[in-house]
Structure 1
Amino acid sequence: MTKSNYFSTKCVFGQLISLIDDEIISNAVNKTQSDKFTKKFTTKDHLISMVFCSFAKCNSLREVAGAMLGLSGKTNGFQLQHIPKRSTLSDANRNRDEEVFAEIYNSLLNKYGNVLSDSRIEEIIKKQVKIIDSSTISLFKEILSCVGRKAKTGKSKGGIKMHTVINADEVVPSVVWFSKAATHDHQFLAKLPCNEDTIYVFDKGYNDYKAFEHFTKNNTGFVTRIKDNAVYRTEQINEIAENIHSGVLEDATITVDVKHGSTLIPLTLRKVRFYDRENKREFEFLTNLMDLRADMIAALYKVRWQIELVFKQLKQNFPLKYFLGDNENAIKIQIYCVLIVNLLLAVIKKKLKRSWAFSNLVSFCKIHLFNFIQLIKFLENPEKDWDLNAKPRNQLTLFD
């Protein structure tokens, strides 16, 4: 058999780590002072260790420390300077501010934004569409307060809620904010920047008339679903043009009351009633986009499903069930490192001409994490090596 065409001087893990520039890490360290009192186990070592944990799907500190100990003498390819012991990694997860990992993630997003972006939606709408949602991650210990009833024993599990914004033309979160699981979703709306070139799309769990008033005053669009018990006044039924999708049943201008202390201030919004033939359901959408076509309002809300796929992708492919620490800081660090790994693999997937399912790509990288093959080249044509070494059809065997 001839020599493999895919040999590389760096293992697959080293090639993935090389996507994170040293400058990105050093800038984040300088900004957050995360190495100020560190002697050996630097932020870069910490990051590489936690990225390895995400790739290898380790469920405990013992697994991470034991697996990395077996890499002694092989760490040059991925620039690890100090292999951590279990106690070292535990202390780092507890004491190093998770903000440095947030900075690294945001810098990577800025660097690879052009690779990850698909501008087709923005070209049609002429605005940036941002999708908002949250996902609750259950914790075995009551580290953060969780929603739901307590067990008969009086004990309750903890939970952390990950509020997320993704651009509709991207496949990774652009903004992440953590809170206790019991925190109501609508509180996150106050953190969102407003500008006339942005449309926010979110479900009815985020209904907040004060936030809608704030968006409207700042010329920022939003699309959501109206609550079943919403109180409003119908001001006008708008005519539905012939070129509008037949699923649009009603397009109305309505008024809701926004409470400011003891005063009620009216806010004019738009309600679109739409029948989805695919799901055989009727939906009512609420928006402040008065000039957009009614069927486009329904189409914008349908784009919101993309963020559900992102949450599903994260939870199915990475360890967000077992955490390495029982403190809030350690949990946030592990989630940020999962987001970093998700981003790196999304970049690899976008660069490939060949179509790969994301779960298959994750499994492939896990299996070949320390094999010395050229990742991109191999993924483009994994069968090529076998084809080159295959026996010609007309060649006789020893017993022919």
Structure 2
Amino acid sequence: MCFDIQNTMSKSNYFSSKSVFGQLISLIDDSIIKKEVKKCESDRYTKRFTTKDHLISMLFCSFSKCTSLREISGAMLGLSGKTSSFQLNHIPKRSTLSDANKKRDVLVFENIYHQLLKQYGGFLSDSRIKDVINKQVKIFDSSTISLFKDIMGCVGRNPKSGKRKGGIKLHTVVNADEMVPSLVWFSEAKTHDHNFLEKLKCDENTIYVFDKGYNDYKAFEHFTAQKTGFVTRIKDNASYISIEKLDIGERIHNGVLEDEIIEIDVKKGKEMSKLRLRKVTFYDLVNKREFEFLTNLFDLRADLIAALYKTRWQIELLFKQLKQNFPLKYFLGDNENAIKIQIYCVLIVNLLLAVVKKKLKRSWAFSNLVSFCKIHLFNYINLMKFLENPEKDWIIDKAETEQLSLIL
């Protein structure tokens, strides 16, 4: 009796004709890239290094957590002969990638991201919140990404070292049932948050949730006029008049301490108008803290107002997820365009991995999923099958090894 020991030991139940990177890239429909390239004319003056090559190179940077252009270029040069599975036509030199990041309009990357969100948004959506509220709940907040070069407006004092710390502020809107950004807007770190409110689209089927850093009474009046709901926290020094104390029913959560109608003054130049809002005071037993919420939603239960604000924590988790798992501490260019391209490519990678995570029946921590893909980026493993049952190969191989050792 003859056994092919080498073939028996090396066979894998999870072999794929595409590398893990190729499988992840294949989640991006090529027609989306072609459509946006044509729309933005991003290949108009390009001879070799096309938008698609540029996109794949920057996605490789995000997946592999590269921290410099030289690292990306060097790592990709080692992929010669392995690029067919993800259709990379031109491996860039450091200078080529640097020029592309500086000159190619970030709009094409932004549009590709939003087209992917349009494609996968429904799949990622969890309708439980919308089923209860019967409206789309959107959370928005900002996060500052520090830069140590004077790329955008600097913040803070001049340090003794002479090196001023600059920053770019990432303002983000997230549908509470999707957990991936639906709108992104960049500003200098010193820009006040409330300037972002004018970017938001108002309609009667939307409720915006945000923290008190965005307090702007003129915006609140505009939301109310457009029948757009909002929930935020009232400022500690807010000036208002209490109009009416509302009854707290027996079925309302016992954390609700007070529910009242208030009136605030809205200044518009020399003119002044009155705006009626609702203030809900809630005691959080877990954090042992009292919160005062401000809203224009008069028909919702008081405890639901508190529950809506609690969903805002999701966007904090998103910012933490992006900063901990992707290369946002190291920027690959000293210009605004390069930074924005890098951030949009990180958002694309975050979206693709969110799709993979959602497809899995087995529960994976997002950080573990990112680490696995980084380690096995160019291994020919069937990603979905392996993630569903990662121990299977080990159990089979161990059993086969024991059988062969007995025979031999």
Query: TM-score if structure 1 supplies the norm length?
Result: 0.98
Give the Å deviation of 1:171: 1.7
Unaligned runs of 5+ in 2: 1-8
Residue number among 282, 285, 299 corresponding to 1:277 in the alignment: 285
Give the Å deviation of 1:390: 2.8
Amino acid at match of 1:225: R
- 2:117 is the alignment partner of 1:99: no
What is aligned with 2:6? none
What is aligned with 1:43? 51
Give the Å deviation of 1:393: 11
For each residue in 1:189-214, what CA deviation from the matched residue of structure 2 results, as whole angstroms up to 9, or x when unmatched? 10100000000000000000000000
Contact 2:146 2:168 in 1 (8 A): yes
For each residue in 1:233-272, what CA deviation from the matched residue of structure 2 results, as whole angstroms up to 9, or x when unmatched? 1011111111100100000100001111111100000000
Aligned-partner Cα distance in 1 for 2:359–2:76:
29
What is aligned with 2:219? 211
Secondary structure (helix, strand or coil) at the match of 2:146 reads strand
Give the Å deviation of 1:150: 2.2
Residue number among 290, 309, 315 corresponding to 2:323 in the alignment: 315
Contact 2:156 2:165 in 1 (8 A): no
Identity of aligned residues (%): 74
What is aligned with 1:11? 19
What is aligned with 1:387? 395
- 2:93 is the alignment partner of 1:85: yes
Residue number among 160, 164, 181 corresponding to 1:173 in the alignment: 181
Tell me: CA distance 1:372–1:396, structure 2 relative to 1, closer, same or farther (3 Å). Answer: closer
Amino acid at match of 2:98: S
Aligned-partner Cα distance in 2 for 1:69–1:153:
38
Aligned-partner Cα distance in 2 for 1:397–1:19:
43
Amino acid at match of 1:167: N
Contact 2:139 2:312 in 1 (8 A): yes
CA RMSD of aligned residues (A): 1.5
Matches within 5 A, 1:67-146: 67-146=75-154
- 2:378 is the alignment partner of 1:378: no
What is aligned with 2:250? 242
Residue number among 264, 269, 276 corresponding to 1:268 in the alignment: 276
- 2:339 is the alignment partner of 1:331: yes
- 2:52 is the alignment partner of 1:57: no
Amino acid at match of 1:179: S
Amino acid at match of 1:274: F
Give the Å deviation of 1:384: 0.8
What is aligned with 2:358? 350
Tell me: CA distance 1:281–1:57, structure 2 relative to 1, closer, same or farther (3 Å). Answer: same
Give the Å deviation of 1:114: 1.8
Aligned-partner Cα distance in 2 for 1:373–1:260:
62
For each residue in 1:169-222, what CA deviation from the matched residue of structure 2 results, as whole angstroms up to 9, or x when unmatched? 012111000000000001101010000000000000000000000000000000
What is aligned with 2:3? none
Secondary structure (helix, strand or coil) at the match of 2:399 reads coil
Aligned-partner Cα distance in 2 for 1:212–1:399:
78
Unaligned runs of 5+ in 1: none
What is aligned with 2:237? 229
What is aligned with 2:304? 296
Give the Å deviation of 1:32: 1.1
Aligned-partner Cα distance in 2 for 1:121–1:31:
36
Give the Å deviation of 1:324: 0.6
Aligned-partner Cα distance in 2 for 1:80–1:221:
46
- 2:42 is the alignment partner of 1:34: yes
Amino acid at match of 1:20: I
Aligned-partner Cα distance in 2 for 1:337–1:391:
43
Aligned-partner Cα distance in 2 for 1:183–1:390:
59
Residue number among 186, 197, 202 corresponding to 1:194 in the alignment: 202
What is aligned with 2:168? 160
Give the Å deviation of 1:148: 2.4
Amino acid at match of 2:130: E
What is aligned with 1:360? 368
Aligned-partner Cα distance in 1 for 2:305–2:381:
47
Aligned-partner Cα distance in 2 for 1:123–1:201:
17
Tell me: CA distance 1:100–1:393, structure 2 relative to 1, closer, same or farther (3 Å). Answer: closer
Aligned-partner Cα distance in 1 for 2:152–2:257:
44
Aligned-partner Cα distance in 2 for 1:237–1:149:
46
Contact 2:240 2:264 in 1 (8 A): yes
Give the Å deviation of 1:396: 9.5
What is aligned with 2:228? 220
Secondary structure (helix, strand or coil) at the match of 1:174 reads strand
Give the Å deviation of 1:152: 2.5
Give the Å deviation of 1:31: 1.5
What is aligned with 2:349? 341
Query: TM-score if structure 2 supplies the norm length?
Result: 0.96
What is aligned with 1:258? 266
Give the Å deviation of 1:398: 5.7
Tell me: CA distance 1:398–1:153, structure 2 relative to 1, closer, same or farther (3 Å). Answer: closer
Contact 2:246 2:260 in 1 (8 A): yes
Aligned-partner Cα distance in 2 for 1:362–1:283:
36
Amino acid at match of 2:142: S
Give the Å deviation of 1:71: 0.8
Secondary structure (helix, strand or coil) at the match of 2:120 reads helix
Residue number among 29, 32, 38 corresponding to 1:24 in the alignment: 32
Give the Å deviation of 1:115: 1.7
Stretch deviating more after TM superposition (292-301 or 24-33): 24-33
Give the Å deviation of 1:277: 0.3
Aligned-partner Cα distance in 2 for 1:338–1:131:
20
Contact 2:155 2:165 in 1 (8 A): no
Stretch deviating more after TM superposition (249-258 or 1-10): 1-10
